[in-house]
Structure 1
Amino acid sequence: MSVGWIRPVSGLAASQIVMDDRIAQAEAPPGLYRLDRNWHCDRIWLQVRNVLGIPAPRVYGWSSSTDNPVRAEYILMERSGGVELGKIWHDMPWEERLEVIRTLVGYEKAFVSANLPMHGSLYYAKDLPSPSPSQFLDSVNSIDKGETFVVGPTTNRAFFDQGRGSVEVNRGPWPSLNEFVHSRAARELACIDKFSSYPGQQGLFSGPNQYHPTRALKVEVLGDYLKVATQILPTDANLSKPTLWHSDLHSDNIFVDPSQPTRILNIIDWQAVNVSPLFLQARHPSLIEFEGPIPEGFEPIILPDGFDDMSEETQHQAKNLRAAQSLYKLYEILILRRCPEIAHALHFRDTLPGQITGLASSIFSDGEPILKGMLIQLQDEWATCVRSSIPCPLSFTPEDRTQQKRLEASWSEGVELMHEILTEVGAYQGWDGWVNHNNYPVYKERLARCRENFLDRYAKTEEERSQWIQAWPFEDKTHSPTSL
């Protein structure tokens, strides 16, 4: 039987699409439909389905090497039944939406309940050369030790995306939290040392009179971070326990029974799932995120003043915002009641130490002026954030503070420019700029027109026009960042 139903997926890189085309010529059992390069998903799915009781597709076959007829790593799994939740979510009654959220909270509680020995990713014991006894999971009771789960090197995208996979760094597993956070910083420093460009920047930088990212500032900021990295970690061991987490629970990754929409049949897209500290893993499900203010506390959420005098369209928008805010807050209430560890981890993420720890892991790409500002704030609030009995190792001069404010303002202007461009182009940004094959010519032409409009608006001279063209970040390319 031909596996012609495996098709290029909107947003995948060209190399992945070619791989899909190859696999389409192979033979496979019926019922399979999805291909994934991250072959460790086989272990993840078995763990979450068989041990944690979370619905995930069954895996029928996989290869962790390119030594096969397909000449690529792959996974073949069962086709998910039902429909994507996103197709019916907005038509579901309030009570049914809340029931779905209750189910997701139950899954997240199961994640936290798993006893995982260290940080990294799940493997079969037989797939690692010599796993130590401390790497084995207590929750798996198998006679065949080769089929038991162990924690091995991480497959976290943060260690591979945007050129990071080409640097030689410690990818775990990490027995301690201190080793884990130091490895993240060492990875960023290794990338800064190896590459001369910085992929994944949030703003349009390096144009005339703009913010210019520099290696010197990135290294300096990471050096300051390492002075405090272990001192700002949570003191509650429950917040840093090794935890599995699905970080992309949006409505198209959740399949439900259309005749009973509160019944979740499958959750897909596990390829980036890894074992990391809870306070870095926990996040609100993408399903309940929304544009707009998040209310403080847990008071009932009411419609705005003057609601009765608003237009019908404005009233509709106000009701939708209230519904989104209410669902968001109900999720937080459920988490607080059923798994306070997650609630406390979400709170810690929002604290200054939590924000610093999170941002420090992406400085190779971006954010060094922001992180420096946070470190300056940490020095000012050291006694509150850490302990007054511990001397603060940071020391920023008035000149450092003035320079940081200037750089952050310049950086923010670049972020606003990028937002302006992406809004004008109108392409979905969730796949790093990849668009549907059929829409490619349309967006390519739209981007070219946007570029000319931008140059006409912002280039005052021919020299500035040349500088803006040099700084323009959008182009078709599949290679890694330019190597020194």
Structure 2
Amino acid sequence: MRFVRESGLYPDVPVPEVYAWNTTFENPARAPYVLMEFIKGKAFNLVVRDDDPGLLSGLCAVPESQQVALVKAMARLKASLSKPVPFTEIGSLVVDSSGTFSVGPLMAIYGVSLGSPYKSIEDFWRASHEQRLLEKIPNFCARTEESFQPSERFTPHDLMDRYQKLSALIPYFKIPEPYTPLVLHHPDLALRNIFFDEESLLSDDPKVACVIDWSGAQILPLMLASCIRIFRGHRYTGIVVIK
């Protein structure tokens, strides 16, 4: 959040000011914490319907015009985050004790390190491919070749054959030039992490009050940072025109 506030790149992405933080258990609170500014607003997934108190409502619970308005609001946030950053490697955004930002190992949203920093997309593909292989190997190591039944379609030989074929294709998985600039990616930019002005939330023009939960913020090529998470089970198939 500090990078978003202090870099000057994202005037249209409001975030709370962070007063203090600690990611370890070695502190007076004995737990990781973030002490931040209070901003009045409400997340869409916490809105309840007057006729059914306590029920979380999804996008399907509001008229299509409001669905489109919310998706547009998220699209505007993504567009604002699509500005090139002053970094040259793929990874996760980190800050040292002096407050200097840099790129560290790429962390998945579920907390697993994906290695890095990576200097090119090919390096990232290759490391990711190797990691997938290493994850699969233990499944086969405890078995002998005789234990595989004829009905099983995927054997260790198949695994290595597929690994070699996909490895040979990596140099061809290139990102088109317009989509290669590195940008800041919020890995969990879902409606639950976007607080809106409560009065405008269910209008045709919802106003974003702040965006939270930036843990694991990543530096990625624009193409890899283009997804928007809405709600599981909801698929929006219309065209979004940002004005």
TM-score, normalised to structure 2's length? 0.71
Distance in 1 (alpha carbons) for counterparts of 2:150 and 2:111: 33
Unaligned residue ranges in structure 2 (runs of 5+): 49-58, 141-148
1:121 is aligned, of 92, 114, 121, to 92
**8 Å CA contact 1:159, 1:187 repeated in 2:** no
1:100 matches 2:70: yes
1:225 matches 2:166: yes
> Which residue in 2 is equivalent to 1:281?
225
Q: Distance in 1 between matches of 2:226 and 2:233?
A: 14
Which residue of 1 is the match for residue 126 of structure 2?
A: 182
1:69-468 correspondence runs (5 A): 69-79=28-38, 81-86=40-45, 87=47, 95-115=65-85, 116-124=87-95, 126-127=96-97, 146-157=98-109, 160=112, 165=113, 171-193=115-137, 195-196=138-139, 214-234=155-175, 236-261=176-201, 262-286=206-230, 290-291=234-235, 324=236, 328-331=237-240, 333-334=241-242
For residues 289 and 244 of structure 1, the distance between their equivalents in structure 2, rounded to whole angstroms, comes to 27
Highest Rg: 1 or 2? 1
Alignment partner of 1:230: what SS? helix
Secondary structure in structure 1 of the residue aligned to 2:196: strand
1:58 partnered with 2:17: yes
Cα distance change of structure 1 residues 110 and 173 upon mapping to structure 2, 3 Å threshold: same
Q: Which has the higher helix share?
A: 1
Gaps of 5+ in 1: 1-44, 128-145, 198-207, 292-323, 339-484
Measure how far apart 1:77 and its partner are: 3.6
What's the TM-score, normalizing by structure 1?
0.39
- CA RMSD, aligned part only? 3.3
Q: CA deviation at 1:99?
A: 3.8
1:250 and 1:210, CA in 2 relative to 1: closer, same or farther beyond 3 A?
farther
Q: 1:71 to 1:219 in 2, by over 3 A?
A: farther
Question: Which has the larger strand fraction?
Answer: 2
Provide the rounded CA distance (Å) in 1 between the counterparts of 2:151 and 2:5. Answer: 50
Q: How far is the alpha carbon of 1:186 from its aligned partner?
A: 2.2
Q: How many matched pairs?
A: 216
Using CA pairs below 8 Å that are at least 6 residues apart, which structure has the higher relative contact order? 2
Partner-residue secondary structure (3-state), 1:151: strand
Distance 2:78 2:198 in 1: 23
Inter-CA distance 107–214: structure 2 relative to 1 (3 Å threshold): same
